[in-house]
Amino acid sequence: MTSVSRRGYHDIGGEAAGPIPMDEPPWLHWEKQTEAVRSLLGDGTRRLVSLDELRHGFESFGADKYAKYSFYRRRLEAMIDVLVEKNVITRSELEAEIENKRRTWTSKA
pLDDT per residue over 64-80, tens digit each?
A: 888 899 889 999 999 99
Q: What is the pLDDT along the chain (109 residues), one digit of tens a residue?
A: 555 567 666 665 666 767 877 888 899 999 999 999 999 999 888 899 999 999 999 889 988 888 899 889 999 999 999 999 999 999 999 999 999 999 998 887 6
77 in any annotated domain: yes
pLDDT (0 to 100) of residue 59: 87
Residue 65 lies in a domain: yes
Structural domain span for residue 36: 30-108
Domain count of the chain? 1
pLDDT at 3: 56
| 3-state SS string for the chain | CCCCCCCCCCCCCCCCCCCCCCCCCCCCHHHHHHHHHHHHHCCCCCCCCCHHHHHHHHHCCCHHHHHHCCHHHHHHHHHHHHHHHCCCCCHHHHHHHHHHHHHHHHHHC
- State pTM to two decimals: 0.75
In a domain, 39, yes or no: yes
CATH number at residue 96: 1.10.472.20
Whether residue 67 lies inside any domain: the answer is yes
Q: Indicate whether 4 belongs to any domain.
A: no
- 59 within domain boundaries: yes
In this structure, is residue 45 part of a structural domain?
A: yes
